[in-house]
A and B are shown apart, each in its own frame.
Chain A
């Protein structure tokens, strides 16, 4: 690996391209269709690759994304059409070609001329920007989505097109690059209802090289209107504290929320806001107002506070505790086959309203926390003598992108043999010591950090640790020592006579 990098660095640039991502021409794309569903901060795309094997035994299919697109992609799940099983994909970035590649392992090798269809679901974070940058309070929220027109692939593509679907039928201007691409058979860009279609483009050759992109790649943009407010979370820092004496798991989120729509032009009119919300009981699309969170069952004592103190505009509807295998957070199949009413009973609902309406460009930081019984989340493995606790990575706000997520799991004092198992690759895992009430040496804490997180990253982090019995006694011992100190002080104080003695004046 190192020698290869040294040799690559020493070569002149033209030779370096020759050594870049080398994908064997074992497939030919017969049709590639990308369906993009635009949203606020998160937009989803489903790309269907229909391909034909050119050689026997072809089993590795490579999907490539341009650097711009790959930077914004925060979720990538390939599945075969008709199957629900996710395929393993090895991800990488080729610096020479400036492309992200995903090497997908197909379950069975294909024979020559055999066809297969692959569905790839992706999520883009912040692919849309507010347009125009400022807007008045009662204006609709308009965003601008920009992407590349042609889908790049290491294989020849006989036909490809991109369909962009907007959330409302109000589609603003959409770009039609001119001169039209040589691969476009008929009209390059067409609009039908709320879908803008680019293509079809016929017989596009393998498009990884820089020269091809400079000549044929175009930038497209679609300006659209959203029906609801655009929420964006700048940072979400979660702390999960485990208590063995109280058998409790406390989860606390520090959230920095921002309205990702156009920045407010002019001043905020309270009268206008009250007027709209009084009659419609809904905030206009420019304003973030009530938000609903689905929390686990069995939780109690939620708190919603900010820098000023408690925020009383919240409604909590608790749901009774369920066994671990029935909890939708621990078992994704727990909701299968349930009626909607029963399904809803497996979640607690918390509706929160920020202290002030968050209009375009405004920020709001707050803290949200709740307690849960530890037997719903942790279990004790008798064979290894270790406790295993399941901690939800983050609470997802629907369709909201999180720029910076952090989870700090604070284990009981004296926990040893700590092992962390994140559900997806995280950017960093750090171990530290956290000191809180009645601690002597401090508690071991594990911090997981991840950037560019979506609402699909609601996995469970498992932590296994062992706590010797003597560690449990540390806390009562600390308090006992303090109390003994108090008694020693009393013991000494009883024997000191502070009275002022007047000696018998013997003159």
Chain B
């Protein structure tokens, strides 16, 4: 039942390494979720008011920006409500 030398080595490495810290601090996630998702909602509404142009650069730009904000906002929202994705 003795642990193997590899086990003792990884245990020592784990103890000496720095504790995990996320890219974005978890305490900021609720605020980020709120800001990003309200921006997405606002941009989505703005998208619907845009004139219908033949070369839709403005529409594509707004849609792209809103999507990126939605992506990060939804991930932050999931983590805020307890579904840790």
Residues of A within 8 A of B (CB): 75-77, 86, 88-89, 241, 243-248, 250, 301, 324-325, 330-331, 371, 373-382, 387-390, 419, 421-424, 436-438, 459-460, 462, 464, 472, 475-481, 483-484, 487-488, 490-491, 494-495
Bound together, the chains give a CA A387 to CA B74 distance in angstroms of 25
**Which 4 residue pairs of A and B lie closest in terms of their CB atoms, listed nearest first?**
A246-B84, A480-B71, A476-B71, A487-B63
B68 at the interface (CB under 8 A from A): yes
Across the interface, which residues of A come within 8 angstroms of B26, CB to CB? 246-248, 373
B20 close to A380 (CB less than 8 A): yes
Contact of B10 among A247, A421, A495 (CB under 8 A): A421
B20 close to A382 (CB less than 8 A): no
Give the A-B contact count at a CB cut-off of 8 A: 147
Closest to B63 in A: A487
B14 close to A388 (CB less than 8 A): yes
Rounded to whole Å, the gap between the CB of A87 and the closest CB of chain B is 8
Q: List 17 A-B contacts (CB under 8 A).
A: A77-B1, A245-B24, A245-B75, A245-B84, A371-B82, A373-B26, A376-B19, A377-B20, A379-B15, A379-B20, A380-B19, A388-B14, A390-B14, A424-B1, A438-B74, A459-B3, A483-B70
Closest to B77 in A: A479
Rounded to whole Å, the gap between the CB of A286 and the closest CB of chain B is 34
Beyond A89-B1, A244-B22, 5 additional contacts (C-beta under 8 Å) are A76-B1, A245-B85, A377-B20, A423-B3, A462-B7
Contact of A246 among B13, B21, B59, B85 (CB under 8 A): B85
Rounded to whole Å, the gap between the CB of B81 and the closest CB of chain A is 10
Across the interface, which residues of B come within 8 angstroms of A381, CB to CB? 13-14, 17
Across the interface, which residues of A come within 8 angstroms of B18, CB to CB? 379-380, 382
A243 close to B70 (CB less than 8 A): no
Bound together, the chains give a CA A488 to CA B70 distance in angstroms of 15
Rounded to whole Å, the gap between the CB of A278 and the closest CB of chain B is 37
Rounded to whole Å, the gap between the CB of A50 and the closest CB of chain B is 23
Across the interface, which residues of B come within 8 angstroms of A243, CB to CB? 79, 84-85
Contact of B2 among A88, A325, A460, A462 (CB under 8 A): A88
Residues of B within 8 A of A (CB): 1-4, 6-7, 10-11, 13-15, 17-24, 26, 29, 40, 44, 47-48, 52, 56, 59, 63-64, 66-68, 70-72, 74-76, 78-79, 82-85
Across the interface, which residues of A come within 8 angstroms of B67, CB to CB? 480-481, 483-484, 487
Bound together, the chains give a CA A477 to CA B71 distance in angstroms of 6
A480 close to B70 (CB less than 8 A): yes
A421 close to B6 (CB less than 8 A): yes
A378 and B19 in contact, given A76-B1, A437-B78 (Cβ under 8 angstroms): yes
Bound together, the chains give a CA A76 to CA B20 distance in angstroms of 35
Across the interface, which residues of B come within 8 angstroms of A380, CB to CB? 17-21
B71 close to A479 (CB less than 8 A): yes
Rounded to whole Å, the gap between the CB of A186 and the closest CB of chain B is 37
A487 close to B47 (CB less than 8 A): yes
Contact of B68 among A248, A421, A480, A491 (CB under 8 A): A480
Bound together, the chains give a CA A375 to CA B84 distance in angstroms of 14
Closest to B70 in A: A483
A301 and B82 in contact, given A479-B71, A487-B67, A491-B63 (Cβ under 8 angstroms): yes
Bound together, the chains give a CA A484 to CA B65 distance in angstroms of 9
Across the interface, which residues of A come within 8 angstroms of B59, CB to CB? 491
B85 close to A388 (CB less than 8 A): no
Across the interface, which residues of B come within 8 angstroms of A324, CB to CB? 15, 19
A245 and B2 in contact, given A423-B7, A462-B11, A483-B67 (Cβ under 8 angstroms): no
